[in-house]
A = this chain, B = another copy of it.
Amino acid sequence: MNRLERQIGFLVELDKAKDVFRQSYVTSGERKENDAEHMWHLALFVLVLAEHAAEPIDVVKVLKMVLLHDIVEIDAGDTYIYDEVAKATQAVREGQAADRIYGLLPPDQQAELRDVWEEFEARITPESRFAAAVDRLQPLLLNLATQGRAWRDHGMTAERVWAVNAKIAEGSPALWAYVEGLLRDAVERGYLPEA
């Protein structure tokens, strides 16, 4: 295969992210969201909310991170952020998936895009912390727009949701302050039981 054929092979393979379903419901409430939709939505979050990042960020790098961050789930499946059992094996499953999927690309692009994904996973740089913040904010907003439906499905409590989402503050204190207000409101409205 020549360079362009490898690139096209990778891009056609990515279509499968449209069949990987997450726990969040879309705001119409009729079905769950898939990874492709989620990655698109996050890219828009980055474009619109970048000014709220905790530190100066390279917006293009963050865009690449969110556009790629879940493609390993084509092989590894979605791991629910509140599922501690699945999270224990997540890194190994996703590493194998990355070998196969990024391996479809020509070597230079394989290295470049996989590096972006590894940087996202490591959560050390300002870019990865901001990407992780919007990756938590987006499903939270979908949950609020559907009266906490995915939280109810999984019997989540406010305490647990607070603990998992507090990491938003590492990427953006401004967004976390806003989210805290939304969560307090969700508890008051009864979308999220306190315990």
Residues of A in contact with B (beta carbons under 8 Å apart): 4, 7-8, 10-12, 14-19, 26-28, 33-34, 36-37, 39-41, 43-45, 47-49, 52, 59-60, 63-64, 67-68, 105, 109, 113, 138, 141-142, 145, 174-175, 178
| Chain B residues with CB below 8 A from A41, complex form | 11, 14-15, 18, 36
What residue in chain B is nearest A109 (Cβ atoms)? B48
Q: Which of B12, B43, B52, B145 is in CB contact (< 8 Å) with A15?
A: B145
| Stoichiometry, copies per complex | 2
- If A19-B28, A48-B109 touch, does A174 touch B37 (CB 8 Å cutoff)? no
Task: Determine whether the beta carbon of A26 is less than 8 Å from that of B19.
Answer: yes
Determine the distance from Cα of A96 to Cα of B22 in the docked complex, in whole angstroms: 33
Determine the distance from Cα of A105 to Cα of B36 in the docked complex, in whole angstroms: 24
Q: Which of B4, B26, B39 is in CB contact (< 8 Å) with A40?
A: B39
